[in-house]
Amino acid sequence: MSEGTRIDSWLWAARFFKTRSLAKQAVEGGKIQVDGAKAKPSKTVHPGSEVLIRKGDEQWTVRVQGLSNKRGPASVAQTLYQETEESRQQRENKAEQRRMAHSASPDHRPSKKERRDLARFKRDNDI
């Protein structure tokens, strides 16, 4: 398998996507870059290739370590790539920001009067 593997198959085997068709849609949608260039689903990846993966709010930059066309256990899938330190740090920072934003939520549900006041405020201010 030293000749390479299709990027959509590799993303599925590395467990970034649940199905190969979802991986293919992400590649076609421009969410995947291989070695800094937008890829097509048939683009082959080789060990040492750098892959940028955007999925929702998450973003990974990984270096391909191994190749596989078949989806196996998660422990095997983790050996197919190595995430860069910068990417890991950015993901951890974003997760911390989400936790902090979530902790700033109110400690109770608004009462009926508070809901009416909020609705009146929104209506009067065109929000």
What is the C-alpha separation between 26 and 41, in angstroms, rounded? Answer: 9
SS3 content of the chain, % helix, strand, coil (to 5): 45, 20, 35
**Predicted confidence (pLDDT) per residue in 71-100, tens digit:** 999 999 999 999 999 999 999 999 898 888
When pLDDT is averaged across residues 100-110 and rounded to a whole number, the result is 77
**Predicted confidence (pLDDT) per residue in 22-67, tens digit:** 999 999 999 999 999 999 999 999 999 999 999 988 899 999 999 9
What pLDDT does 69 receive?
Answer: 87
pLDDT exceeds 80 at position 106 = no
What pLDDT does 98 receive?
Answer: 85
Task: Indicate the DSSP class of residue 80.
Answer: G
Domains by residue range for the chain, with CATH: 5-103 (3.10.290.10)
How many C-beta neighbours within 10 Å does residue 24 have? Answer: 21
Q: Please report which confidence band the pLDDT of residue 1 belongs to, taking 50, 70 and 90 as the band edges.
A: very low
How many C-beta neighbours within 10 Å does residue 8 have? Answer: 25
pLDDT exceeds 60 at position 8 = yes
Q: What angle do CA 20, 25, 30 make, to 5 degrees?
A: 130
pLDDT exceeds 80 at position 102 = no
What pLDDT does 2 receive?
Answer: 52
Tell me the CA end-to-end span of the chain in Å, nearest whole number: 58
Spatial strand order of the sheet with 37-38 comes to 37-38, 32-34, 50-55, 58-64, 81-83
Q: Which two tokens stand for residue 87?
A: 């990417």
When pLDDT is averaged across residues 112-126 and rounded to a whole number, the result is 92
* pTM for this predicted structure: 0.74
What is the C-alpha separation between 55 and 68, in angstroms, rounded? Answer: 21
Q: How far is CA 103 from the centre of its chain?
A: 23
